[in-house]
Amino acid sequence: MREWIVVVPVKGATGKSRLEHPDRAELATAIALDTIEAASRAERVAEVVVVTSDAHVAAEVEGWRDDVSTGFARSTTTDSVRVIPDPGAGLNAAIAAGIAAADATRPRAVLLGDLPALDPRDLDAALDAAASRPLSMVPDAEGTGTTLVTARPGVKLEPAFGDGSAARHRVAGFAELHVPAASTLRRDVDTADQLRAAAGLGLGPRTSALR
């Protein structure tokens, strides 16, 4: 059942400052777009709310809805992918804007936009597990950060992303979901080593083309 609203904050070309690559800006955009597309393919996701100030990312995502000839348009299972502007006050402010724009009568999730190997089935499995919990979270592969937080309908969602966010989320009452360490949902990418690890899981097409 497609019921989840998934908020994805995206810095786009200005992101991934720690990722050493000759085309870092283009690669950062590719990682974000692959993440968004994978999330939109998940069978439990009704809407993806992309929060960004990157005009290229916004145009690309909105073009997916308009161009029925694209592979995305043929294969997506979402009702919609929506873009709202980033207020420009940091990651958690962008997330808060996305949450405010989401329907609170539905279950909501925040997914970071740096999961270029994301398999929609891994996201579906986590959302299934989260459905019975008021608040839940998925730590990154290193166990210190967070890649996903969720809230049931009517439950206030106030994530605290950033360095060491996994510990903050646990203290705030987010239950940790038992997602395997090798899950594509846990393999975020901030460094070249992490990109190589993600490549071992299978990168999305845009990221793969630039790696």
47-96 pLDDT, tens digit each: 999 999 999 899 998 887 655 444 444 344 445 899 999 999 999 999 99
Query: In the prediction, which pLDDT does 1 show?
Result: 77
Element (H, E) at 204: none
Q: Which residues contact 76 (CB under 8 A, 6 or more apart)?
A: 37, 40, 41, 64
Helix residue spans in 42-90 (DSSP H): 55-66, 71-75
pTM attached to this predicted model: 0.91
List, in order, residues 6 or more apart from 127 with CB less than 8 Å away. Answer: 4, 42, 44, 45, 107, 109, 150
Choice between 117 and 1, residue whose per-residue pLDDT is larger: 117
Give 204's contacts (C-beta < 8 A, 6+ positions apart).
30, 31, 33, 34, 35, 37, 38, 116, 117, 118
- Name the nearest CA neighbour of 207 among 192, 83, 50: 192
Structure confidence by residue, pLDDT tens digits, 96-109: 999 999 999 999 99
Check residue 79 and give its pLDDT.
52
Q: What is the pLDDT of residues 170-204, one digit of tens each?
A: 999 999 999 999 999 999 998 889 999 999 999 99
**Angle subtended at Cα 31 by Cα 157 and Cα 53, rounded to the nearest 5 degrees:** 60
Helix H or strand E encompassing 46: strand 45-52
Question: Is the distance from CB of 151 to CB of 106 less than 8 angstroms?
Answer: no
Nearest to 130 by CA among 109, 112, 115, 116: 109
∠ CA 176-109-204, rounded to 5°: 95
* 41 exposure class (CB count in 10 Å sphere: 0-12, 13-18, 19+): buried
pLDDT confidence tier of residue 13, bands split at 50, 70 and 90: low
Residue 97 vs residues 17, 49, 143, 172, 193: alpha-carbon distances, Å: 23, 10, 26, 20, 32
DSSP element (H, E) containing 23: none
Hey, what domains does the chain have and what are their CATH numbers? 4-210 (3.90.550.10)
Q: Choose among 187, 178, 157, 137: nearest CA to 97.
A: 157
pLDDT at 16: 59
Q: What's the rounded mean pLDDT across residues 114-137?
A: 97
Q: What percent of the chain has pLDDT over 70?
A: 88
Mean pLDDT of the chain: 89
